[in-house]
Structure 1
Amino acid sequence: MSAGREGADMENGPIAAAAGGSHAHEGAQRLRPRGSNQVGMRQFNERVVLQAIRLHGPLPKAEIARLTNLTAQTVQIIIARLEAEGLVIKHAPLRGRIGQPSVPMALNPEGAFSIGIKIGRRSLDVLLLDFAAQVRERLTLDYDFPDPDTLFDEIRARLKLLRKSLGPKRGQLLRGVGIAAPLSLGGWQSLLGVAPQQAARWHEIDIEAEVQEMTQLPVALCKDTAAACVAELVAGRGRSVRSFLYVFVDTFIGGGLVIDSHLRSGATGNAGAIGSMSMGAALRGEPPRQLLSVASLFTLEKMYAEAGLDTGAAADARAMQAPWLPVTQAWLALAAPGIA
């Protein structure tokens, strides 16, 4: 989640968390990290070097110096320090060129680990990620609506399982826990068929504080749509597009707004929240339909249920297989034009 805060300022600084992707060369000119050769900039420059490798893939030291505007000597010192800390590793030398073969430096997936928690209205996901942002383990729990009396016990148990899976030595490399959750987890209870008193309980709960009590690791909370949007900005196609609207299709549809490579939250934190947008003129005697009423996975689940099918297929590959596929296609015929 720390990537969420720093990722919004990509052109002015690097990412300080284990977020990244496999698009090695996309967006090189858009999100080009720049370092400083001034004294006292050690941590900043380390992040700049790590971000350069994260954006471009394995790089020789000379190329790192060129991309970051750091001197060759500074890069040499930083790489030596990062290698000693186990955050970067050497790849096979590049031969066939004039002079000494260059040695690309890459992120060490085993250099650090983090845990990501997504608390959704329909499911819980707890992930273990390595320093190259690859998912090592995923623990999932499905439910009709999250019950705070049991949900945090489930999160605590999963945190223990993931830490245990790392073992004592690698467990020391866990750096933090990030949480993504809807801005108003107790909202839209009437559509979900949830009792008002059950939904209202979430208005009184500090999710970040509850998880922080379970661990000594730093914990950060981010709105789920913002977290997904920042992931696209940092590790996906967003690195090559300056301004875009990110569409987040979950239980309810939402979005994130990026302008000039910065995530814009808006005055109330709801910039990009497209779900409440009107679908057009209201029918006689009925309120106007909102986009979330047709382009949300909740609607797809209802259509599956009406067809006598397992609603859980909305979250996995069965949605594109028989007998769910015709229903999925019918939902897409409503959702896609609405989004457009």
Structure 2
Amino acid sequence: MAVLKVKFTKTRRDKLAQVLWILNWISVVTGVLLFCLGLFLKVEINKREELMAGRDVQYVPNMLIAVGLLACAINFLGGKICYDCVDTNKFLRWKLIILPYIICTFFFTFCVLVGAVMCYSMHGELEEALNVGLSDALKFYKDTDTPGRCFLKRTVDMLQIHFQCCGNSGYKDWFQIQWISNRYLDMSQKEVVDRLRSNVEGKYLMDGVPFSCCNVNSPRPCIQQQINNNSAHFNYEHQTEELNLWMRGCRQALLEYYTHIMQSIGLTVLISCSLLLVQLSVLTGVRYLQTALENVLRQGDPDSESDGWLLENSLMETARTNLNIIKSLGKNNHIHTANNGDPNIDVPSTSKARYGPDNVPLKEVTESS
């Protein structure tokens, strides 16, 4: 017995095909939007790829791009199918394609849900990648003469100026690394030599930061050296001079920036997922249209009424039928392998009649006799 059987007239079939055509084109626009958002996120990540290390975060934009392209292709095909299904003769072109189309559309809907979840689950991996990448960038800030690292000074300076941040977690991160190259240190000065010798690793550490950490809103000239020494500067108290340097770390600034982008994209994807009901309606409508038109072809009158359904038999009968089909395919494949792909070759029987005493084949017994 058919599941959810509905009777369709010629007018109702035409209206159903027109509505499905419109819904498919709405889904095409959604796919284009997802593709553009994924491309935008990929470009933004690639801009600062050298500041991200340890984890690959490209899978999210790649997923969005793939889902967007898949949505455009599937729904464009669905729109063409629904447009042609108004004419019964044109339906014959797509009769064998409709079922694979329904399966691909269901898979696409699942991919959209996965993409939305991935947008919101990227925060932890992005934070870890930024933490490792920024730490390495600060460490190699001084290596302006080293191939492969000479660009990091400019990258970090532009990052701190553009995002109004300083260091990885804060400006004090610069106190723990040597960010001035030895080529710019005057080794004839006793203070420089003593500072190098006082460090176990022989690094020139000081309580200073690069110029890009200076807060442009500060009412006084930027103090970027001897930051913790109040006596080194007139009318200065480093604990209260919050406007002198950017207080926020660059990891937090970048994380907030990318999180805002991801939340916007995730919200857009979820809005697209709210069209999940629309997509399921498309799947249901296409299935009804398929079965109704197949019944019209059986009757031979394109203007006659016809029944449409989701399943021709009950759920149990459908599952049993599909299981039997799978079993039969497995048996056919086994026979095909045994025949080495030649159906004209008979597979030797393994019955007892072909064996003589002591399980010796009859052919061998005859030759020995």
TM-score range, shorter chain: under 0.3
TM-score, with normalisation over the residues of structure 1?
A: 0.23
Which of structures 1 and 2 has the larger relative contact order (alpha carbons within 8 angstroms, sep 6+)?
Answer: 2
The structure that is helix-richer by fraction is 2
The structure that is strand-richer by fraction is 1
Larger radius of gyration: 2
